[in-house]
Structure formats: structure tokens, C-alpha cells
């Protein structure tokens, strides 16, 4: 019988890894900024096309736009914190990049807790260097 198992993916921090991760994070921040700009532009266009007599509808739309902007700014702040964290990672340290699903075979007589204990894959520059 096979059971699903969560496997941690850890990366040994190298200059190349740090550079690539920072690039991805900074690109995500740029995308958020662009999305907020587009949201504001589209919102203004839509507001200009609305009936000026329907103030409640206009206010509701403006409120929705502002709420979405707040959400995006929160995500941007989290990304900026992540950038600071990554910049300060010491070379050679382990960084938890995420999790993956794995399968483990179990059979009668196996120690279940040992079989399904947390597993880790450690990589460096894309190469698996250790499985724990």
C-alpha cells in the first residue's frame, strides 16, 4: 500500500540561488505595482462612464477599488519583507523553499511512524545533495 507524504524541499543558499530568488521577488513586486496602476486606470474609466446621479453605486465601486488596492499593498509589503530576509541569508545555510507530495510504501510489519516521518530533500544549485 502507498500513502501520501509531505516532503520538505530545502535549498542550500548560494549566490546564484539568492540572486534568482531576489529577481523573482522583485519581479512580483513590479507586477503588483503594475496591477494597482491598471486597477486605478480601469476604475477611473468605469467611474467616468457611470451615471453621475447614482452616487451610491459610484461610492461602492470606489470602495471596492480601494479595498483591492489595500490587499495588493499588503502582499507587496510581505514580498518586501521576504526580500529583506533573503538578502540577509548567510551563504551555505538551508532555506525552506516549499513542500512536495511524495509516496511511501507501507506493508504489514513496518513501523508506520518511521515510514511517514517528515522527509526532506536538500538541493544545491538544482542538484539533490541529500535526502533525509
Mean pLDDT value across residues 46-66: 82
For residue 82, is pLDDT > 90? yes
Those residues with Cβ within 8 angstroms of residue 25's Cβ, 6 or more apart along the chain or in another chain:
79, 82, 83, 86
The whole-angstrom separation of Cα 90 and Cα 79 is 19
Q: What pLDDT is stored for residue 52 in this prediction?
A: 75
pLDDT exceeds cutoff 80 at 50: no
Average pLDDT over residues 19-33: 96
Range of the domain at 25: 2-131
Alpha carbons 11 and 33: distance in angstroms, whole number: 29
pLDDT average, residue stretch 122-128? 93
Our count of domains for the chain comes to 1
Residue 90 has pLDDT above 80, yes or no: yes
For position 113, what pLDDT does the model report? 83
What's the average model confidence in pLDDT over 1-22?
A: 93
Cα 129 from Cα 87, distance rounded (Å) = 23
pTM value > 0.85: no
pLDDT in the model for residue 58: 79
In this structure, the chain runs to a length of: 132
DSSP 8-state assignment for residue 14: -
Amino acid at each position: 500500500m502507498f500513502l501520501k507524504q509531505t516532503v520538505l524541499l530545502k535549498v542550500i543558499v548560494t549566490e546564484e540561488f539568492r540572486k534568482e530568488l531576489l529577481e523573482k521577488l522583485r519581479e512580483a513586486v513590479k507586477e503588483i505595482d503594475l496591477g494597482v496602476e491598471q486597477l486605478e486606470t480601469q476604475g477611473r474609466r468605469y467611474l467616468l462612464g457611470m451615471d453621475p446621479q447614482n452616487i451610491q453605486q459610484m461610492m461602492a465601486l470606489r470602495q471596492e477599488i480601494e479595498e483591492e488596492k489595500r490587499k495588493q499593498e499588503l502582499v507587496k509589503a510581505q514580498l518586501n519583507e521576504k526580500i529583506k530576509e533573503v538578502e540577509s541569508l548567510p551563504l551555505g545555510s538551508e532555506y525552506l523553499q516549499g513542500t512536495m507530495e511524495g509516496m511511501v510504501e507501507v506493508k504489514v510489519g513496518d513501523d508506520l511512524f518511521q515510514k511517514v516521518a517528515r522527509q526532506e530533500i536538500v538541493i544545491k544549485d538544482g542538484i539533490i545533495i541529500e535526502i533525509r
